[in-house]
Amino acid sequence: QLPAKLYEYLRAGRPTFGIVPRDGAADRWIREHRSGVSVDSAAPDRWAPELRGFLDSLADYRAPSAEPFYRRTLTGRLAAILDGVRR
C-alpha cells in the first residue's frame, strides 16, 4: 500500500524525493515509474548526497499522471470487477 503522502505528490505533478524503507511499496513505485528518487530510510548518510543529485537532475524525472488514482477511475474499475463477478 502506498503512503497517502505519495498521492499528494502525484497530484502536485512534481518529481518525488522519498526517504523510505528500501524495497517498500513507495520505494518500488518511485523506481518503477521513474518519478523521482527514493533513498533508504535506514541510510541517513545517503540522504544529502542523493538529494543534491536529485535537485541537479530534476529534468530527468517525470511525474506520472495521477488519473489512475482518481476516485472516478477507481470507482469505474471496481464497478467493472463487480460486473464481472455478477455474470
Burial (CB < 10 A; 0-12, 13-18, 19+), residue 55, is exposed
pTM: 0.69
Phi, psi of 33 (to 5 degrees): -95, 0
The pLDDT assigned to 28 comes to 93
In this structure, the strands spanning 16-20 and 36-40 are parallel
Among the listed residues 38, 39, 35, the one whose alpha carbon sits nearest the alpha carbon of residue 13: 35
Poorest-pLDDT segment among 12-16, 37-41, 68-72: 68-72
pLDDT digits (tens, 9 = 90+) for 52-72: 999 999 888 877 766 766 778
pLDDT score at 59? 85
Domain chopping of the chain, boundaries: 4-86
Cell numbers given for 35: 518519478
